[in-house]
A and B are shown apart, each in its own frame.
Chain A
């Protein structure tokens, strides 16, 4: 997951006449030169490494591939294969449903707990200053490190989880968390929630701190119910924060790759129980030891479908969430 989204906005005012210098016949000002010098390199970088790959994936998806060699133009054959042809169709559905599950589970475990944590931090419960740092600290860790850390924690024999269970006499509950179909995906989700919960917490906390103190005093004059306070006043007033974390979680959940790759491997072991679209795409496009040869065409078709799905749903989601927002 890679939360974060920066939207650059630059506006250049009209140049003053005395700053104008003629260069190759076109009016360029010192200010404009500066702006151009600052914008062009990153723009070129984005074009080369973001726009070009996306566009070429679109193009690749319509060709047949033999290894690295491009074959015939095959119209929508690759898309058809991914969506309707066995065994691809089953794999696609399996991975997609896992992503859907991951999204909803993380909405509760990551954003839900994040909101509760933010509320506790905001109310300045004892030790709030320490906890504010403690909650956010895991976010700065690399996903690779968190993945390996949780793999160690969940190790069937030497993992701290099973050792603890046995130590308190609950050895019966000890199990190979990552090796069992029924628990593997949930274990990954919990690892992700632990890693990233500080992010929604921070965003919600910032939203809460923007609520004027007198509004909270006004609510306290009318009710002593914490639930009414949170559900009717605080929650609607942090709607802008919710928009940010919901949208980013949606995008993150359907692009989920690093953590399952580190913890479950390319096959989404065991038996595809942790297979998600990210792993499935990677496997299909670039191949792996068990899954056979690489297939750029099918992989690209998959990537295009994932991209379109995320773009369309995230667009509607943002539009809907924006409508809930009010100006303070």
Chain B
């Protein structure tokens, strides 16, 4: 059982503050992903939870107990490092046994836990090998195994896929998701890859510049991003942001005409930011009655669908998801319309989402 509370967590390195008050409640059994661009503070936050760096300010509670001053080894937390950090002088068995023995378990218990982990991670044939005799994927599994034998209440994974090749990455991703379900603990996973975050997480913490931008399920983040940062960070190809002027339900874009928002927009600001994803746009011929005027730049054919990239008159490049049969010629004039209910509207200055 692991339930985490982070309350007003701040981290300073000398004069530089890198985390500016993180508040987070994580319930038992969740798989939480911290995602954000490099330097956003996600790994720092993970190290504070692990206890590897001291918390400058705020409280970290694990199951209601304040952990700020508890040594890393006493927190009931295990961590898988980006470089795996296996002990190079110990074989696979010893790597897993080292931490378990230090917990004061009986010899039989240590053996049993290692056997369990080895079976779950298919490590049995590798037990006598040294880390340098293993492939990247095997080292990764040993690192996870080493964490599992300690039966942690909370498992931390720091960019565990970043050192694997692309083909292996999706396999290991699935394994981690399955492992999390099987062992049923709480897991925190750090990545800069939003696809990893979307596919794995129960809930995602999107971080930027030492702050949490949004905390929610993958679906919430995709469908109702809290601000333009989350909106453009989540989803691929990324959401296009258009500076529009409101006139009733019509949203006008300089030089490209106007479109109907197809929804109620709160507030009364006239200057707004319209966010549109590829699946929220429809490509129409140049002579269509509605839509924003644009010029096709190029088309990405992906087999099951195609993305048409078009430039609006004011210069923004938007991508539109189309059927794979759509092959507009470059430089062709087209019109782009909104799918009703799929537009996102943000405050132009603050970037905050305007409720529909």
29 A-B pairs whose Cβ atoms sit less than 8 Å apart in the complex: A212-B83, A212-B85, A214-B83, A214-B85, A217-B50, A217-B52, A217-B85, A218-B81, A218-B87, A219-B87, A220-B72, A220-B73, A221-B50, A221-B52, A221-B79, A222-B73, A222-B98, A222-B102, A223-B73, A223-B99, A224-B72, A224-B73, A224-B74, A228-B102, A232-B98, A236-B89, A239-B89, A327-B88, A327-B132
B78: CB under 8 A from chain A? yes
Chain A hits for B130, CB < 8 A: 326
Chain B: which residue is nearest A232 at the CB level?
Answer: B98
Q: Which residue of A lies closest to B78 (CB)?
A: A221
Residues of chain A from 189 to 238 with CB closer than 8 A to chain B in the complex? 212, 214-215, 217-225, 228, 232-233, 236-237
Number of chain A interface residues as a range: 20 to 34
A residues near B245, Cβ cutoff 8 Å: none
Interface residues of A in 268-287 (CB under 8 A from B): none
For the complex with contacts A221-B77, A236-B89, 16 further pairs of A-B residues with Cβ separation under 8 Å are A214-B81, A215-B88, A217-B50, A217-B52, A217-B79, A218-B85, A218-B86, A219-B87, A220-B72, A221-B78, A222-B98, A222-B99, A224-B72, A225-B102, A239-B89, A327-B88
Which residues of A come within 8 Å of B, CB atoms? 212, 214-215, 217-225, 228, 232-233, 236-237, 239, 326-328
A325 to chain B, nearest CB (A): 9
| Residues of A with C-beta under 8 A to B82 | 214
**Cα–Cα distance between A218 and B72 once the two chains are bound (Å):** 10
Question: Distance in Å from the Cβ of A21 to the closest Cβ of chain B?
Answer: 46
User: Mostly helix, strand, loop or mixed at chain B's interface?
Assistant: loop
Chain A contact surface mostly: helix
Interface residues in chain B, defined as those with a beta carbon under 8 Å from any beta carbon in chain A: 50-52, 71-74, 77-79, 81-83, 85-89, 98-99, 102, 130, 132, 150
Interchain nearest-CB distance for A93 vs B (Å):
40
Asked if B89 and A326 make an inter-chain contact with CB atoms under 8 angstroms apart, the answer reads: yes
Select from chain A the residue with minimum beta-carbon distance to B152.
A221
Instruction: Using known A-B contacts A326-B89, A327-B88, A327-B132, determine if residue A221 contacts B72 with beta carbons closer than 8 Å.
Output: yes
Cβ–Cβ < 8 Å partners of B79 in chain A: 217-218, 221
Closest A residue by C-beta to B77: A221
Measured CB to CB, the nearest residue on chain B to A215 is B85
10 closest pairs, A vs B, by CB?
Answer: A222-B99, A214-B85, A218-B85, A224-B71, A326-B89, A214-B81, A236-B89, A223-B102, A215-B85, A224-B73
